[in-house]
Amino acid sequence: MADVTTLLEAVRSGTAADANELFELLYLELRSMAHEQARQHAEPAVHTTTLVHEAYLRFRSAGKLQLDDRRHFFAYASHVMRSVIVDHARSQLAEKRGGGVVALTLNTAIGNSVVASDEEVMRMNDALDELTALDERLGKIVEMKYFGGMTEEEIADALEISSRTVQRDWEKARLFLSASLQQV
């Protein structure tokens, strides 16, 4: 079995078999990442396996991606998982027609202790879109930490910045998101 960087190069050239081998190689890590996301929801809105498989399908249909190595792949995977979760939450809210929106307080330990409802996911997504429009790097950090479950060191590696910069940016992002979520 080839290494991740070699497989990513092959996938960029358009070989479907290499995409399959890439996902096979990284399946357990992707599953662990997805499990953390599924665990955050009161009703497992998107089950772990569904989240990984949907990420695979979106990866395959994305066309030519510039993913140079493992860290870029996992940064992209957190973005795709966010997209899947938000799409699911959006469809659930459409079914409910949005009644009874409850206020959300940003809890930085949300991934470890609190389950998020579909409304909370959508509010967080809207606030994150607003943050990303102001500062793209802050948005990526929140996306990788909140939706991807990545550590500060993994984020620093993926964005090629220092861990201390990630910590400072995370604090800025938390303040912005907290203020944004309280305005509703």
In this predicted model, which residue has the larger pLDDT, 141 or 13?
141
DSSP 140: H
> 162 by DSSP, 3-state: which?
coil
Do residues 115 and 44 lie in contact, with contact meaning Cβ atoms separated by under 8 Å? no
Q: Do 38 and 51 contact (CB within 8 A), yes or no?
A: yes
Name every residue whose Cβ is closer than 8 Å to that of residue 26 and which is 6 or more positions away in sequence: 4, 70, 73
pLDDT tens readout for residues 65-119: 677 788 888 888 888 888 888 888 788 777 665 444 554 555 544 444 445 677 8
Judged on CB neighbours under 10 Å (0-12, 13-18, 19+), 156 is buried
Residue 155 amino acid letter: I
Average pLDDT over residues 167-182: 90
In the chain, % of residues over pLDDT 90? 20
Residue 21 pLDDT more than 80?
yes
Please, what is the average pLDDT of the chain?
79
pLDDT in tens, 27-44: 888 888 888 776 766 555
Packing angle between helix 4-12 and helix 70-96, nearest 10 degrees?
70
Of residues 1 and 18, which shows the higher confidence score? 18
Instruction: Round to whole Å and give the CA distance between 156 and 141.
Output: 9
pLDDT of residue 131 exceeding 60: yes
